[in-house]
Structure 1
Amino acid sequence: MIHRNIFPSLLEHLSKPQATVITGMRRVGKSTALKYLLTQVPHNNKVYLDLERVENRYLLNQTNTKDIEIGLAIEGIDLSKPAVIALDEIQLVNQSTSVIKFLYDTYGTKFIVTGSSSFYLKNHFSESLAGRKRIFEMYPLDFAEFVAFQGESPTLLKQFAEASFHLSIYLKWKALYENFLSFGGFPEVVLAETEEDKKAYLRDVINAYIELDIRLLSDFSASDDLYRLVRLLAVRTGSRLDFSKLGAVLGINRAKVKEYISLLEHTYFIKSVGAFTQSLDKEFSKQEKIYLADTGLLQALAQVSSGQVFENAIALQLSHLGSIQYYQKKTGLEIDFILEGKKAIEVKETPTPHDEQILKNRAKSLGLDTYYLVGRHQSPNDFKDFVWGGSLISQ
């Protein structure tokens, strides 16, 4: 078992009475996390129910709670004692929250559940299970986790997290980082042995997302428009959104485009980055930038530049470190990312001293004392005052 960054938080919550809810895109490792947690339960009064199986959906869909209790007893659960029930893919059973609420309130049953839809879980669960659950969001692997999945220890890498460029660290991890940029961080993709297998898994992720998650939350006809939209967004990754232009290309109205993009974000397929400004009113008036949830997905959907792939990766890596925004003036002057409203960050594939000076001046104009370049490649003039992308991880 390769431990994920989220595991300590999940383990800590396992002893709490409230339901432990794990949500995120398909194939990010939610089921693996759920099964791992179940092995950590210190008694045998527990059960795993995969709700993709019809008999398990039937068990929870029964209208009579006594029948549900009998079904659980057949599965070996004694509700008169502390019990743990693990439900995988909970969004597939409409009345699942009612069942959880009943068993939690009546017997104090502990639930561990997974679901692929943030939109469904956050909205429906918030209304139905107020005070009875905590939601944990799971994402594709970050680079440190990716290294662990490759059978190597990320300990040394973490010691140099966010540190200035160090040649030996760069040379040791460069090949793995380039692989990470190429195929992303879905565990099945990372563990696949061939490039063709990796590409096939990525196509499966896209298909499952469109055909299963989106059709669960939207009407049947939306899937074709959404597929065309995600391909357009992939081409435009790192660019500011223009709903009207996207609508014109797709042949749908601006409001519908906005609705679809909200759905894509709330189901983890894309990440939006808002504009940084010292005026709240101006912030709301500026367009957002969009990045895809995984660089492997990005390249499976469209032919994009290496610079776009790298910027997308850095946006995702920074999002693990805190909230991010971008800065851009009407004159074109910009800073790629502002981290936590305090750090100015510029992304360059091959950074130079000139890039650093420009960033310094722009950060100073915003009153930001902390700034750094993030680079992908070694600088040809031995410039080292930048952070290599592979070391942009949490310690």
Structure 2
Amino acid sequence: MKTVERSIFPALKAALDDSRIIVLTGMRRVGKTTALRWLLEQVESNNKIYLDLERLDQREVFQEKNYDNVVEYLRNRGLDPDAPMTVALDEIQFVPNLPSVVKYLYDHYAIKFLLTGSSSYYLKNQFTESLSGRKVIFEMFPLTFGEFLDFRGISYQKKENFDEMVFNRHEFERLNAFYEEYLQFGGLPNVVLEPKGETKREILSDIFSSYLNIDVKGMADFRKIGELEMLLRVLANRIGNKLDMTKLSKVVGISRPTLYEYIDFFEKTYVITLLSPHGNPDRSVAGGKKLYFRDNGIASLFMNPGEGALFENALFNQLQSYGSLSYLGKEREFEIDFVIRKPDQTEFGLEAKLHPVQSDQERLAYFAGKYHLQGSWLVGRLATPGFDQFIWGGSIY
């Protein structure tokens, strides 16, 4: 089966010409292994190998004290250590001492390493200092809606500018069923490719169970797994809301210091992400940041998929590739869900609405002008009779 290329692939391929170690990270089942195998195929030399460190027989050699034994292992697997080698290692978090092994081999042999790991938590705690200056890190996220359509073999025309995305009824009628599926089940490749809704939910549940039983237990010193699961259920029903750590601590019965640890872990293992207020990106986790999940499918395990929060959550993830994001609003005043800052530093406001209407547009335009934004758009989930001056969410690929 031909690999469907992801938007990250060109950047990964370009990094092959860089001598540094390529590290690809992201949440479970996001497509890292497929990307790693694809990247290895782009290496013209045959002096290369793929190893899955989740397999005991392939990770044992990396756990030995004599790191030179790895080179002998590669020789026995058919590689020539006297020539440049490319070694792809999948699921590096299964070998705690791997950073030391890779650093030694990188410094003493002509090896180009391609690595994947399921957690920036692991990378930042175990991997950063030992490979300082020797690596380039790529983050992989669930499919965009455009990639979702690519995986399903559905044609579409991507538009780069929001002005070009004004509601098109023909596009809406052709793609709306796919977009509603994307909102409910998210963008994890295995889920997208599964045709049956019931099986999709089973796959999502399996992914989440693996996250709790492997990632949480293996990468963090958390003992109360049930406590983390309960917290995620509470967080899923606060999508798009500002985090109030004091109130949240009382609701879930978890101390604030422990709550900070849990939130940090969820963020670094790509389950949730936090959106900073406009003009103040460095505020702390409790300092008014808004909460979103990285994948709608995972979020929908804990909430009603018909809720408007899932639409806002999907929109947040869809907008990631268009510029840097923040939100704008003050107490008792109108809030703009998303402010996008383009590379040229121009800023635009976008507001998510289930049923957009003219009065919403007028109010948004007023507050966008008040905050000196260069433009604003309503983004709607559903068509509204008699009003088409908005962007349909499914047009943001």
Which bracket does the TM-score occupy, shorter chain normalised?
Answer: over 0.9
1: CA distance, partners of 2:282 / 2:76: 59
2:139 to 134, 137, 140: 137
CA deviations 1:49-100 (Å, max 9, x no partner) are 1001111111111101232222221122221101000100001101211121
1:116 to 108, 118, 143: 118
Greater CA deviation, 282-291 or 67-76?
282-291
CA deviations 1:232-271 (Å, max 9, x no partner) are 0001111111112222222211121122111111111001
Equivalence for 1:271: 273
SS at match of 1:336: strand
- Cα 1:280–1:48, aligned 2, differ >3 Å: closer, same or farther? closer
8 Å CA contact retained: 1:235, 1:304: no
CA deviations 1:123-163 (Å, max 9, x no partner) are 43220111211000001100000001111233x24478651
- Cα 1:300–1:282, aligned 2, differ >3 Å: closer, same or farther? closer
SS at match of 1:275: coil
What is the TM-score with the length of structure 1 in the denominator? 0.94
2: CA distance, partners of 1:66 / 1:19: 19
Q: Tell whether 2:397 aligns with 1:390.
A: no
SS at match of 1:136: strand
8 Å CA contact retained: 1:144, 1:158: no
2: CA distance, partners of 1:14 / 1:281: 33
What is the TM-score with the length of structure 2 in the denominator? 0.94
Equivalence for 1:39: 41
User: How does 1:88-237 map onto structure 2 within 5 Å?
Assistant: 88-154=90-156, 156-158=157-159, 163-237=165-239
Q: Tell whether 2:318 aligns with 1:312.
A: no
Equivalence for 2:332: 331
> How far is the alpha carbon of 1:358 from its aligned partner?
0.1
Q: One-letter code of the match for 1:309?
A: L
2: CA distance, partners of 1:192 / 1:74: 39
1: CA distance, partners of 2:76 / 2:205: 39
> How far is the alpha carbon of 1:39 from its aligned partner?
1.3
CA deviations 1:194-245 (Å, max 9, x no partner) are 1111001100111111111112222241422111111100011111111122
8 Å CA contact retained: 1:157, 1:169: no
Q: Tell whether 2:371 aligns with 1:366.
A: yes
8 Å CA contact retained: 1:17, 1:109: no
2: CA distance, partners of 1:280 / 1:299: 28
2: CA distance, partners of 1:351 / 1:126: 46
> How far is the alpha carbon of 1:306 from its aligned partner?
2.3
- Cα 1:302–1:214, aligned 2, differ >3 Å: closer, same or farther? same
8 Å CA contact retained: 1:210, 1:223: yes
Aligned CA-pair RMSD: 1.9
SS at match of 2:82: coil
Q: One-letter code of the match for 1:44?
A: N
- Cα 1:373–1:83, aligned 2, differ >3 Å: closer, same or farther? same
8 Å CA contact retained: 1:247, 1:253: yes
Greater than 6 Å deviation, 4+ residue runs:
279-285
Greater CA deviation, 363-372 or 157-166?
157-166
Q: One-letter code of the match for 1:386?
A: F
> How far is the alpha carbon of 1:276 from its aligned partner?
1.7
8 Å CA contact retained: 1:276, 1:283: no
2: CA distance, partners of 1:30 / 1:282: 31
User: How does 1:46-57 map onto structure 2 within 5 Å?
Assistant: 46-57=48-59
Equivalence for 2:296: 295
2:356 to 323, 332, 351: 351
User: How does 1:15-94 map onto structure 2 within 5 Å?
Assistant: 15-94=17-96
- Cα 1:235–1:43, aligned 2, differ >3 Å: closer, same or farther? same
1: CA distance, partners of 2:69 / 2:283: 56
Could you list the runs of 5+ residues in structure 1 that have no partner in the other structure?
A: none
1: CA distance, partners of 2:103 / 2:284: 40
> How far is the alpha carbon of 1:281 from its aligned partner?
9.0
8 Å CA contact retained: 2:184, 2:305: no
SS at match of 2:116: strand
- Cα 1:120–1:172, aligned 2, differ >3 Å: closer, same or farther? same
Q: One-letter code of the match for 1:261?
A: I
1:342 to 340, 347, 359: 347
SS at match of 2:379: strand
Question: Percent same amino acid at aligned positions?
Answer: 42
2: CA distance, partners of 1:111 / 1:317: 31
SS at match of 2:128: helix
> How far is the alpha carbon of 1:177 from its aligned partner?
0.7
